[in-house]
Structure 1
């Protein structure tokens, strides 16, 4: 399978090059001034129009990340040899380099996004005025509370931040990707940040939340995002679960208060459950987030001898 692995690696490099390419006569997705990846509309007459919508589409570039451990590479000598040759060949020809090397170990990081751009994306991702909500990462930035508009051949098109129910029937009327928190996409963000953390460790620290002055490594931020997602279902200081919103029967009736519903998506500001209330297929991934939080806590306790460890179910607290 090493031949196939090499081919997939080459394709990954070409995709990364296309995504990050900057040059004369090339309209790419990355905006260096704004620090974000945008969609680009290609018109039949050859024009390219960047669509300056700050959404999960731009953040999804963080998902394609993998650390190749040195122990694994030792088991794949042919692939490792070809990988190093391919890297040297591209370096010799001044082609885009996708591999980041570390001085401290021989692990290899594969990422669609170079480190400098990751940090710029995270500034928006972790900004409470943009993507960061009390219950996770919004699907579109709050800056689009002021609608984004674009004129294409005399016609006006646009969208705005809608944290709850959709105001358009474009997506069937009961789905909304223009503001709410979606659990599966948030899970991928949590997972990706953990992947980056395994490679960078404490070398890469950013503000969480943006502008707070508090620095965290990417593993800690991944854990904090997981806790925000779990908090959607936990009782707050008043004994109410954000997921239930104003549904009093689920908030106060002892016969229903511990029956947790797994909604399709969640309000981008209040974390209220929105859409179908039985989406256990993807919203149920919160169980894996609970496990991640517990494992993170366990690792932290190892550095604190004598401290007790509680793995109680947080949804029932």
Structure 2
């Protein structure tokens, strides 16, 4: 899982700064998973072409006479990095769910100076410093979507899909 990259918009002619920090936003593409029956792909051939152009992985599975496809964004080479960081208690994993920002940010604040002002992305506990929804607490809805996605991976891949 890569660190999230955000672009700070500046007036025309000014330097655009790139902010890179660990955020849950990086796993959102994982939520886009879909099991597709062959009849649907045959019925909509342009859809199949669009899938191949978009970078979505289309995995075929045959069990007996039945065949279906699973569409998702997570490439195998990124999976180990994704699972290691997501399940690391010093990064995203907590006893209450997955954090919205990596705990790594608590000791490694991201700072950028623009037009003489300093801006920070900090990690804050859920009950401190006012509205901290973007800086560390657990988002139940995102955790639910993550669990649903992992379940769809397991339903398609079976015991081959493991979260360590």
TM-score for the superposition, normalised by structure 2:
0.77
Larger Rg: 1
What RMSD in Å do the two structures reach over aligned CA positions?
2.7
Deviation at 1:114, TM superposition (A): 2.5
Identify unmatched segments of 5+ residues in structure 1.
1-34, 168-172, 208-317
Aligned to 1:138: 99
Aligned to 1:260: none
Picking from 121, 139, 148, the partner of 1:182 is 139
| Count of paired positions | 158
Deviation at 1:67, TM superposition (A): 1.9
Aligned to 1:77: 42
**Highest RCO, 1 vs 2 (Cα 8 Å, sep ≥ 6):** 2
Aligned to 2:76: 115
Q: Say if 1:78 and 1:139 are closer, same or farther in 2 by CA, change over 3 A.
A: same
Q: Which has the higher strand share?
A: 2
Matches for 1:124-163 after TM superposition, within 5 Å: 124-146=85-107, 147-163=109-125
Deviation at 1:75, TM superposition (A): 5.7
Picking from 44, 47, 55, the partner of 1:97 is 55
Q: Would the aligned equivalents of 1:56 and 1:140 in 2 still touch at CA under 8 Å?
A: yes
Partner Cα distance (1:127, 1:166) in 2? 23
Partner Cα distance (1:201, 1:48) in 2? 45
Deviation at 1:163, TM superposition (A): 1.8
Q: Deviations over 1:123-144 (max 9, x none)?
A: 2111111111111111111101
Identify unmatched segments of 5+ residues in structure 2.
none
Deviation at 1:86, TM superposition (A): 4.5
